[in-house]
Homo-oligomer: A and B are copies of this chain.
């Protein structure tokens, strides 16, 4: 069968290309497993930097979660061992920087994936939409933190509440895009940054990445608060509207939410 991603090593930089454009590079379990496997291989070779991109020229960098794979009602759609969560952790735990190179629109779980990457290089077609409220999904706390660590609270909220795309220029101004470059220069520009990083002490970069990871998660809350959040989230994924959103999406019609 066709590979869903391409992987390559160029000048010691690992390059992963999402390559299932017909399915809008949906983060299906299969594609996620391919990405994780590639990261494991690069890690075994201790490649200092990884680039995560999509096939050149696609309109949609990735459409996020494969809705067909979302659990039906009564089950948490963002559980710790679900595929999206596993790939986010794989990126966070990769030994060196993972740089997202973004051309086109990024949706939902894929948006969380780019926010989990250590840096984002994009061109002006890039846009970022955080879509759980479209799908009736109660998002998880760690995912929300990815946005709070990058954006003013009110901007992060707007992304989640509206599910509207944040366009490249504003994203660059706010800083979630590190560099906005012309489409043609995207990869070369990124590889130049990778080259700079690789001229530094890899040991030092590795431990600093780990320190950022730990600090960016240091928003501790009491078990009582967490269990309450989990109880609230369960009410959402037990709801009519969660089921309706998935059904409507698969039937390619707008959902009829009733707030219950």
Shortest Cβ distance from residue A30 to the other chain B in the assembled complex, whole angstroms: 21
Of all chain B residues, the one with the shortest Cβ separation from A175 is: B152
**Residue pair B150, A259 in contact (C-beta under 8 Å):** no
A32 to chain B, nearest CB (A): 16
Q: How far is the CA of A219 from the CA of B200 in the complex (A)?
A: 28
With a cutoff of 8 Å between Cβ atoms, the chain B residues found around residue A233 in the complex are 207
Kindly identify which residue among B119, B137, B216, B260 contacts A148, using a CB–CB cutoff of 8 Å.
B216
Known A218-B220, A218-B221, A220-B220; judge A204-B137 contact (CB<8 A).
yes
Q: Check A215–B175 contact: CB distance below 8 A.
A: no
Are the CB atoms of A149 and B149 closer together than 8 Å?
no
List chain B residues, Cβ under 8 A from A46. 259
Q: Main secondary structure on chain A at its contact with chain B?
A: helix
Residues of A in contact, count (CB < 8 Å): 94
The interface bits of chain A over 194-211 (1 if a CB of B lies within 8 angstroms of the residue's CB, else 0) are 001100111111011111
Q: Is the CB of A174 within 8 A of B201?
A: no
A188 at interface by CB-CB < 8 Å: no
Residues of B with C-beta under 8 A to A136: 201, 203-204
| CB proximity to B under 8 Å, residues A78-114 | 79-81, 85, 97
Interface residues of chain A, those whose CB is within 8 Å of chain B, are 46, 48, 74-76, 79-81, 85, 97, 117-120, 132-142, 144-145, 148-158, 160-164, 173-176, 178, 193, 196-197, 200-205, 207-212, 214-236, 239, 241-242, 245, 255, 257, 259-260
8 A/B residue pairs, CB under 8 Å, sorted by A: A117-B154, A144-B215, A145-B215, A151-B175, A163-B200, A164-B196, A203-B235, A220-B221
